[in-house]
């Protein structure tokens, strides 16, 4: 449900007046697990607030929001010719691997299927996550999961899918995913990669345990807001950004939730909004209608308040930010 875009974007003064950043920062402080809230408009920060002793220089674990970063790296690898296209067979990159149950179906699995969480392989997330990350070989274990649907059909959210993408980046480029990310993504955005965990074979974790600062998360969101450009440099193609923020799969988690290329799309305040989402409340929200990027980081340790915090966080973004702007824009018509 995409809202109509105004011919003229809201001026920064109007956005600031509508949101009242000081009031917004105070309201966010009532969320017990929040660590940071940042908002930029047309590339300029209009709100930056830290909570619970957190600071601007302290990296945050993006958790599954890093899946959107892996997607960007795949797009860059395609742009630079390391990967032919999203329709390239995954089997191309693992020539010695034979799927134990369904070798014929395995040959049809594509990079696109991994990006859109439509691989058809049994999920390695949720209740299967613990068993997967203690396995001796994460990539082989993810690839060896039984096919529970045809590739390209049902959405089955699985961190194993994005970890396979990380392995593909390494196979295709000849360098580690971290080195490729530093050279072609982090450096153009002006930062260095911090901690990023690896699997037993040394493949950097595709879809979890990547740490960057909230400001760096904001820069990544601004890259997508600006159609793949940052400081007049085309970091990833505009076509990749467009495809990433289109719905390719319908989430079974509830109405109004869809999936693009490593990005969630969620109906919020009458708009279909792309967001990078990570466990516990790590968010990068790209609001094209208002030239806005919203970043939150939160306490991701398991606890009784985690699920309720996530619901409160979504409500906060929708009701205290997006709905406020929608209402203010309505009065300008």
Work out whether strand 229-230 and strand 211-212 pair parallel, antiparallel, or are unpaired: unpaired
Q: Calculate the alpha carbon distances from 276 to 128, 176, 293 in Å.
A: 22, 23, 11
Tokens 């930010």 found at: 321
| Joined tokens for residue 91 | 């089997």
Number of C-alpha atoms within 13 angstroms, CB side, residue 172? 28
| Nearest residue to 188 via CA among 297, 72, 304 | 72
CATH superfamily of 12-332: DD-peptidase/beta-lactamase superfamily (3.40.710.10)
Residue numbers in the chain where pLDDT is lower than 70: 1-8, 304-306, 332-333
> Cα 68 from chain centroid?
3
User: What local confidence, expressed as pLDDT, does residue 5 receive?
Assistant: 45
DSSP assigned state of 121: B
User: What local confidence, expressed as pLDDT, does residue 6 receive?
Assistant: 43
User: What local confidence, expressed as pLDDT, does residue 333 receive?
Assistant: 60
The ranges assigned to domains in the chain are 12-332
Q: What is the pLDDT of residues 183-236, one digit of tens each?
A: 999 999 999 999 999 999 999 999 999 999 999 999 999 999 999 999 999 999
| Nearest residue to 148 via CA among 110, 105, 116 | 105
The CB-based long-range contact list for 311-318 (8 Å cut-off, 24+ gap) reads: 312/31, 313/31, 313/34, 313/281, 313/283, 314/266, 314/268, 316/27, 316/28, 316/31, 317/268, 317/283, 317/285, 318/268, 318/269
User: What local confidence, expressed as pLDDT, does residue 7 receive?
Assistant: 41
Q: Indicate the pTM of the whole model.
A: 0.95
User: What local confidence, expressed as pLDDT, does residue 306 receive?
Assistant: 65
Tokens 């879809």 found at: 207
Instruction: Reduce the secondary structure of 215-241 to three states and give it as a string.
Output: HHHHHHHHHHHCCCEECCEECCCHHHH
Q: Is 179 exposed, middle or buried (0-12, 13-18, 19+ CB in 10 A)?
A: middle
Q: Is 324 exposed, middle or buried (0-12, 13-18, 19+ CB in 10 A)?
A: middle
């Amino acid at each position: 449900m995409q809202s109509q875009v105004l011919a003229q974007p809201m001026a920064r003064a109007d956005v600031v007046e509508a949101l009242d950043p000081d009031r917004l920062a105070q309201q966010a402080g009532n969320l017990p697990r929040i660590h940071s809230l940042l908002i930029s408009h047309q590339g300029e920060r209009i709100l930056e607030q830290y909570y619970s002793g957190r600071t601007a220089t302290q990296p945050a674990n993006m958790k599954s929001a890093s899946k959107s970063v892996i997607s960007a790296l795949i797009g860059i690898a395609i742009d630079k010719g390391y990967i032919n296209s999203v329709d390239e067979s995954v089997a191309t990159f693992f020539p010695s691997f034979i799927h134990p149950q369904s070798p014929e179906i395995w040959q049809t699995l594509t990079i696109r299927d991994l990006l859109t969480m439509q691989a058809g392989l049994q999920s390695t997330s949720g209740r299967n996550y613990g068993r997967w990350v203690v396995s001796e070989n994460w990539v082989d274990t993810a690839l060896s999961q039984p096919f529970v649907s045809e590739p390209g059909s049902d959405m089955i959210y699985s961190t194993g899918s994005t970890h396979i993408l990380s392995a593909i980046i390494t196979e295709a480029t000849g360098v580690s995913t971290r080195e490729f990310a530093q050279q072609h993504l982090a450096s153009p955005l002006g930062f260095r990669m911090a901690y990023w965990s690896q699997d037993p074979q040394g493949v950097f974790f595709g879809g979890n345990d990547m740490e960057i600062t909230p400001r760096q998360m904001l820069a990544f969101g601004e890259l997508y807001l600006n159609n793949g450009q940052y400081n007049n440099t085309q970091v990833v193609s505009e076509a990749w950004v467009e495809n990433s923020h289109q719905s390719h799969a319908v989430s079974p988690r509830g109405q109004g939730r869809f999936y693009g290329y490593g990005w969630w799309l969620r109906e919020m305040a009458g708009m279909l909004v792309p967001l990078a989402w990570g466990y516990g409340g790590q968010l990068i929200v790209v609001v094209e209608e208002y030239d806005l990027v919203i970043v939150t980081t939160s306490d991701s340790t398991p606890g009784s308040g985690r699920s309720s915090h996530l619901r409160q966080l979504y409500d906060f973004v929708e009701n205290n930010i997006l709905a406020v702007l929608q209402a203010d824009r309505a009065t300008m018509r």
